[in-house]
């Protein structure tokens, strides 16, 4: 399902394989990895075709499983095919260069290559003649136009005829100088009366405060004290949203598929023709056709796969990944025998749905609560680092995850390591005040559940993170959430700084925060973030991205392709999904719900 690749490397060996879905056979060829064998693909194709054709009747009579204990006399055929493949790949002899006698230059005489000074080539003369004729034509067209504009033209022409050549030349010179003098006066700008003062003055707003000290909230002495984050009074409904929820529970994404409703409509109104008959959706309605008991071929599937690829791209799946998905489905189904009343469309659609669900289900499940409890037993804080590009919602979703952890009884220290963006520290301080208002110390035995560790702006982010982790260990905090500055994946200095922060502090979980709005950009961001972390890390086994936080999921309706693109390219799970602006708008990924939205016509 991941790219339809047909090769696998294990230590010094490379294995290439080919599937025969009709008889459920797998053909594998193994060779040394250092060898660049160009004929491997041809060899495996030839062996597949020869073996299948030779034993086709036995497969059909006994079945593939019935031949497991049998012997196949195929050695001679294989050696013959191997020799043919090797012969076809032999390097051809390089082409011999032409001699001077065989070249065109040798046929030219010396006389035709000599150029006399002052003599111009014939082609250039011809071109000049053409240009001259064009110029005459334009002048002829322009003359009547000028004559029609006014009555001064004829009189001026008469005067020029009466004047001598010297007088005409003198007059033309005077007109030329007059024109240039006027143009020079126009181009000169008036001198400013007073030169402006150099340097940029700060803007002073009418209702603002010009005192910079009043606006500086980054006091490093406030770390760890409850007075630094006074309790703020506000309406809890605006921060929590749903008041009927179960505290501390992370709900799954929900999506209702329209297929069941469409099936009910078809059953209730059998007389009315329906474009979505059978509940397979309008996208596949035109491609249905009963095929009977036959094996699927690539020609049968191509129209359906082309339509499916366009559908996936329209749902925000990256174009490259949509092509690879359809290719893998085609390889999986080619040669498969279908049932009597099964359509090509429904078979392909079912295979694609299974592939998508398998991609979205993580290979390694990330259970944050279990890992935090494990860190508690070892008397150390559980450290999570958030990274991503600018403006994707790192700080907002960090606050949502803080709220979820607090509701599960864990104390949180937020490390403000975004020392670049204006207002980043103040944003986290506001979230800290609100979280303390929702969960005051009185409700937790006098213990402050969330605190902010910050050192202001312009400091080293890796150093602040290290100090915050040390402070959390000494003060007994359960979780440290490290907020980092947003950075573009192409910015090498900032990516180096992020790799340094992760390498020095060795967090338990590195989360990439990405928008659900992106399409092809999601692939570029994740690939380059992982590559930068690997390239700039000082460790032999560099830390890469462990999971994904998918934000702004409430803004995309059913265009959920970014979830597929991100998990496909990294094979990492989507740990959290942000679905709104309140602290409760945090969900876990439901693979079947996402696939249902993706397959909706």
DSSP per-residue letters across 13-55: EEEEEEEETTTTEEEEEEEETT---TTHHHHHHHHHHHHHHHS
Q: What is the rounded CA–CA span in Å between residue 311 and residue 316?
A: 9
Statement: residue 245 has pLDDT above 70: no
Q: How do residues 251-274 score in pLDDT, each as one tens digit?
A: 777 765 555 444 434 334 333 344
In a 10 Å sphere around its CB, with 0-12 CB exposed, 13-18 middle and 19+ buried, how is residue 316 labelled? Answer: buried
The CATH class given to the 368-593 domain equals alpha beta
Report the largest interatomic distance among the alpha carbons of the chain, rounded to a whole angstrom.
118
The percent of residues in the chain predicted with pLDDT above 90, rounded, is: 22
pLDDT at 128: 46
pLDDT at 33: 82
Find the range with the poorest average confidence among 105-119, 308-322, 427-441.
105-119
Statement: residue 462 has pLDDT above 70: yes
Contact 290, 341 (CB under 8 A): yes
Whole-prediction pTM? 0.61
The percent of residues in the chain predicted with pLDDT above 70, rounded, is: 69
Single out the residue of 579, 227, 234 nearest to residue 396, CA to CA.
579
What tokens were used for 184?
A: 């020079």
pLDDT at 234: 56
Out of 52-61, 474-483, 542-551, the most confident range is 474-483
Q: How do residues 338-361 score in pLDDT, each as one tens digit?
A: 766 678 888 889 899 988 988 888
Confidence of residue 290 (pLDDT cuts 50, 70, 90): very low
Confidence of residue 463 (pLDDT cuts 50, 70, 90): very high
pLDDT at 26: 86
Find the range with the poorest average confidence among 78-82, 122-126, 394-398, 563-567.
122-126
Name the CATH topology of 7-88. Beta-Lactamase (3.30.450)
What tokens were used for 272?
A: 């009315």
Confidence of residue 401 (pLDDT cuts 50, 70, 90): very high
Find the range with the poorest average confidence among 285-294, 300-309, 433-442.
285-294
């Amino acid at each position: 399902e991941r790219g339809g690749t047909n090769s696998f490397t294990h230590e010094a060996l490379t294995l290439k394989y080919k599937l025969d879905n009709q008889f459920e056979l797998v053909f594998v060829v193994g060779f040394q990895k250092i060898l660049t064998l160009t004929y491997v693909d041809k060899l495996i194709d030839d062996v597949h075709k020869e073996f299948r054709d030779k034993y086709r009747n036995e497969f059909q009579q006994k079945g593939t499983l019935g031949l497991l204990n049998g012997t196949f006399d195929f050695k001679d055929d294989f050696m013959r095919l191997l020799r043919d493949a090797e012969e076809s790949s032999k390097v051809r002899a390089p082409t011999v260069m032409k001699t001077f006698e065989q070249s065109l230059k040798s046929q030219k005489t010396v006389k035709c290559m000599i150029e006399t000074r002052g003599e111009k080539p014939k082609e250039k003369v011809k071109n000049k003649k053409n240009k001259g004729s064009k110029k005459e034509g334009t002048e002829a067209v322009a003359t009547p136009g000028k004559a029609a504009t006014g009555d001064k033209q004829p009189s001026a022409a008469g005067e020029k005829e009466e004047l001598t050549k010297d007088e005409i030349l003198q007059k033309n010179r005077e007109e030329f100088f007059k024109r240039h003098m006027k143009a020079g006066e126009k181009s000169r700008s008036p001198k400013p009366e007073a030169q402006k003062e150099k340097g940029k003055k700060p803007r002073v707003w009418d209702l603002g405060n010009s005192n910079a000290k009043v606006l500086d909230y980054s006091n490093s002495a406030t770390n760890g004290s409850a007075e630094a984050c006074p309790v703020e009074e506000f309406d809890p409904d605006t921060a929590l949203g749903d008041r009927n929820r179960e505290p501390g529970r992370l709900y799954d994404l929900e999506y209702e598929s329209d297929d069941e409703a469409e099936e009910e409509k078809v059953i209730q109104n059998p007389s009315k023709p329906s474009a979505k008959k059978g509940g397979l959706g309008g996208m596949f309605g035109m491609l249905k056709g009963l095929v009977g008991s036959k094996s699927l071929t690539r020609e049968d599937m191509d129209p359906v796969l082309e339509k499916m690829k366009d559908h996936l791209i329209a749902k925000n799946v990256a174009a490259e990944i949509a092509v690879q998905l359809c290719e893998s489905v085609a390889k999986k189904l080619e040669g498969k025998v279908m049932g009597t009343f099964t359509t090509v469309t429904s078979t392909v659609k079912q295979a694609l749905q299974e592939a998508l669900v398998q991609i979205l289900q993580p290979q390694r499940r990330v259970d944050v609560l279990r890992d935090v409890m494990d860190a508690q037993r070892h008397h150390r804080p559980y450290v999570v680092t958030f990274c991503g590009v600018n403006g994707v919602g790192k700080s907002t979703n960090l606050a949502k995850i803080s709220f979820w952890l607090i509701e599960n009884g864990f104390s949180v220290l937020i490390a403000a390591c975004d020392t670049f963006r204006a207002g980043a520290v103040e944003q986290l301080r506001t979230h800290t005040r609100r979280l303390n208002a929702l969960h005051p110390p009185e409700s937790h035995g006098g213990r402050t559940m969330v605190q902010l560790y910050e050192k202001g702006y312009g400091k080293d982010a890796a150093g602040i993170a290290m100090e915050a982790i040390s402070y959390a260990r000494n003060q007994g905090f359960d979780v440290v959430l490290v907020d980092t500055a947003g950075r573009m994946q192409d910015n090498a200095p900032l990516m180096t700084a992020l790799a340094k922060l992760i390498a020095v502090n060795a967090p338990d979980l590195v989360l990439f925060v990405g928008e659900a709005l992106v399409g092809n950009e999601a692939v570029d961001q994740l690939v380059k973030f992982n590559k930068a972390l690997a390239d700039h890390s000082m460790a032999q086994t560099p830390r890469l991205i462990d999971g994904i936080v998918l934000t702004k999921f409430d803004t995309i309706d059913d265009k959920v392709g970014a979830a597929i693109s991100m998990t496909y390219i990294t094979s990492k799970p989507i740990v959290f999904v942000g679905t709104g602006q309140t602290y409760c708008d945090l969900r876990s990924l439901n693979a079947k719900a996402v696939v249902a939205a993706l397959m909706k016509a």
